[in-house]
Amino acid sequence: GNNLMQGKRGLVMGLANDKSIAWGIAKTLADAGAELAFSYQGEALKKRVGPLAEQLGSDIVLPCDVADEASMDALFADLGARWDGLDFIVHAIGFSDKNELRGRYVDTSRGNFTMTMDISVYSFTAIMQRAEKMMRPGASALTLTYYGAEQVMPHYNVMGVAKAALEASVKYLAEDLGKDGIRVNAISAGPIKTLAASGIGDFRYIMKWNEYNSPLRRNVTIDDVGKAALFLLSDLGSGTTGENLHVDAGYHVVGMKAVDAPDM
C-alpha cells in the first residue's frame, strides 16, 4: 500500500457485501492507511458487514437507516463518542422499488418517487449536515452516481431522475462547505454487478453494451472505482470539488455504437 490516507479517519456508508462499490473503496482506502468506520442498514446486514470491517482492521460498525432522522442522529452521536474528528465520508447508498426499474419512467408512482429521492438524494445532504460538525479542514465527501442522470438509459427511470438531483446537490454542497475547506464530489461509475444493480431490468444487456462500446472495451471494477475514490478523498484531490468524475471506461464520451461491437 501507499500512505496517502495515513492519519485520516472516515465513515463508509453503503457496504452490503464484498460485491459492493463501498467495499472496493474501503479496501483501497485501508490499503492507503485510512482508519475506517462503517454503517450498515438493518440487522440482517450486520453479520455481513462486521467481518468485512474486521478484515480491514475496523471495529466501528454502526447501524444507520438513512430514511430515519433519529437513526442518523444516533450514528453521528456514536461516531462522535469514538472519534474527535472526521476526514472523509463515503455515501454509497441508493434505493428504489425494483418494480419501477423496468418499463416506463412515466408510470412512476408518487410514493416510490418520493422514497427514491429521500433515500438516494436527500440522505447525502442529511449526512453532510451532521458530518460537517465533525469534519476537519481538508476533509472530503464522496457519493456515487450513474450516467443515467445525464442521458436516458433503459429501465433506469426514476433512479436517473434521482441521480440528476444527487449530482446537483453535490454542487450546492461543494459551495456551502467549501468555505470550511471541505470538498464534495461524485464518482459516476459504469455498470457493476452488485446487489442494487440486480434490481435494474436487463442489467446483463446494459453491462454487455458498455463492454462492447466503451473506449476501453471493458467494464469497470469496484477496484477501479476505489482508486478514483482514493484520489478524491486524499490530498491528491486537494483542488477538486463539486466534480463528477466518470469511472466508466470512457463510456460517457461515446456518441454511437462502436463499429467493432458485436450484434446484440
Q: Does 16 bind ligand NAD (CB under 6 A)?
A: yes
Binding segment (CB under 6 A) for ligand NAD, from list 132-140, 195-203, 226-234, 252-260: 195-203
Among 194, 210, 234, 241, binds ligand NAD (CB under 6 A): 194
Minimum distance, C-beta of residue 146 to ligand NAD, in the bound complex (Å):
4
Strands 61-63 and 86-91: unpaired
Minimum distance, C-beta of residue 131 to ligand NAD, in the bound complex (Å):
15
Report H helices in 118-257.
123-131, 157-178, 203-213, 222-233
* Sheet arrangement for strand 244-247: 61-63, 35-40, 9-13, 86-91, 135-145, 183-189, 244-247
Residue that is written with C-alpha cell 466518470 in the block: 246
| Catalytic site positions | 146, 156
Minimum distance, C-beta of residue 123 to ligand NAD, in the bound complex (Å):
7
Within 76-95, which residues bind ligand NAD (CB under 6 A)? 92-95
CA R_g for the chain: 18
Q: Does 29 bind ligand NAD (CB under 6 A)?
A: no
Phi first, then psi: give them for residue 63, nearest 5 degrees. -75, 145
By the criterion CB under 6 A, which residues form the site for ligand NAD?
14-16, 20-22, 41, 45, 64-67, 92-95, 119, 144-146, 189, 191-192, 194-197
